[in-house]
Amino acid sequence: MEATAVEESRVTARKDNDLTPIPLMELVTGFWGFKTLTAAIGLELFTHFSRRGPATCEAVCTVLRLERRPTDALLAACASLGLLEKSGDRYRNTALAEKFLVIGRPFYFGSFVRFSDQREYPAWHHIVDALRKNQPTAWDPEAQESPFIPQDPVMRDLFLEAMHSLSTFTAKVLGDTCDFTGYSRVLDVGGGSGAFLTELCRRHPHLSGTVFDLPHVCDIAQQKIAAAGMDHAVTTFTGDFHSDEPLPTGYDLILLSMILHNWDETTNRRILAKCHTALRPGGTVMVCELVLNPERTGPRSAALMGMNMLVLTDGGQNYSQTDYETWLTEAGFEEPSLIPLDAAGANAALVAVRS
């Protein structure tokens, strides 16, 4: 017994000696990469490369009106992040930057970067206040009723654009992973810019759908849907899922994508109850979210999104698979099941049938 204890102590000592602060350094400096990206977006670096082609550091200095030292640092950093590549003395966009970081491209992700920088990043400076007070730091709940009011210029001008690219590619993964052959009409509750339904109906032509959202959001959705050439399949319906009014009926699938993490449990149960009422027997509800595991220890994307909800919302958080299955069952749905997803906006779809 004594010899075993000594050996275990030696193993523990060796493990302790192998520890380094590198993982902590990577956590601490994570914002360096983010702020490098925001700077490049603000300077329209990737748009310039897309328009002009490969360029030397000197040429970029001229275009961006920067001195050589900061230009060299920016180009090296963007190359290290996989956003630029270098051949000889010339830099150019990688495929990732060319597709998502060039202004005017269909899936431009720069709006999400700008939204995160202007709304989320400043709020995170006060994360301890959010933890201590259990209140958002991105907006004042005593001054406005919701973070989604149209009078907020950041939300009005950036949020829906920010979510459009994220939703499109999450919908692509969902459309390729889940079986939609048994559905015909989809109601997307809180459907935003219509990106989700546009992509689902494009991938599954037998589907038609309706975006249910606030009036100013539906105005934007109609423009996006028409621009995508999908207004023959996707329509809008104005409403507020927080009101006492029922949801539209006549759909065999109701989609809640990246919605429920914004609200508290009571609100989410009420939303699911309204979905149950709106669906006919045999209809399905589908919840797409970054879902915590039952132990609530990860994955990291879901857990950190939960922290983000502390600064952005007055009741939202990221919930576990167990939470969603319990709420769905108690709302009257049967056979809740989880379908794993590998998407930026969701790691799972929870599917349940109305009894």
CB-based burial of residue 269 (10 Å sphere; 0-12 exposed, 13-18 middle, 19+ buried)?
Answer: middle
**How many domains, in total, are found in the chain?**
2
Is residue 147, in this structure, part of any structural domain at all? no
Residues 93 and 179 in one domain: no
Whether 209 and 322 share a structural domain: yes
Which of 100, 130, 150 delimits the end of a domain?
Answer: 100
Please report the DSSP string for 307-325 in residue order. Answer: HHHHHH-SS----BHHHHH
Enumerate the β-bridge partners of residue 188: 211, 255
Quick one: pLDDT at residue 14?
Answer: 62
Which pLDDT value is given to residue 88? 98
Q: With respect to residue 144, please indicate whether it lies within any of the assigned structural domains.
A: no
Examine the domain organization and report whether 181 and 78 are in the same domain.
no
Given 164, 204, 261, 276, the catalytic residue: 261
Neighbouring residues of 99: CB distance < 8 A, sequence distance ≥ 6? 105, 107
261 flagged as catalytic: yes
Query: In the listed set 65, 100, 135, which residue is the last one of a domain according to the structure?
Result: 100
Between the CA of residue 271 and those of 145, 278, 316, 332, what are the distances in Å? 18, 11, 14, 13
pTM over 0.85: yes
Quote the pLDDT of residue 151: 78
The DSSP secondary structure of 205-238, one letter per residue, reads: TT-EEEEEE-HHHHHHHHHHHHHTT-TTTEEEEE
CATH number of the structural domain spanning residue 240: 3.40.50.150
Asked if residue 11 is part of any domain, the answer here is yes
Strand partners, 285: 254, 352
Domain housing 348: 167-354
Half-sphere exposure of 278 (CA within 13 A, CB side): 26
The verdict on residue 242 lying in a domain is yes
Tell me the pLDDT of the chain (355 aa) as tens digits.
Answer: 456 665 666 656 566 778 999 999 999 999 999 999 999 999 999 999 999 999 999 999 999 999 999 999 999 999 999 999 999 999 999 999 999 999 999 889 999 999 999 999 999 999 999 999 999 999 998 888 888 877 777 777 788 888 998 999 999 999 999 999 999 999 999 999 999 999 999 999 999 999 999 999 999 999 999 999 999 999 999 999 999 899 999 999 999 999 999 999 999 999 999 999 999 999 999 999 999 999 999 999 999 999 999 999 999 999 999 999 999 999 999 999 999 999 999 999 999 999 8
- 193 and 338 in a single domain? The answer is yes
Q: 85-122 burial string, b = 16+ CB within 10 Å, else e?
A: eeeeeebbbbeebeebbbeebeebbbbbbbbbbbbebe
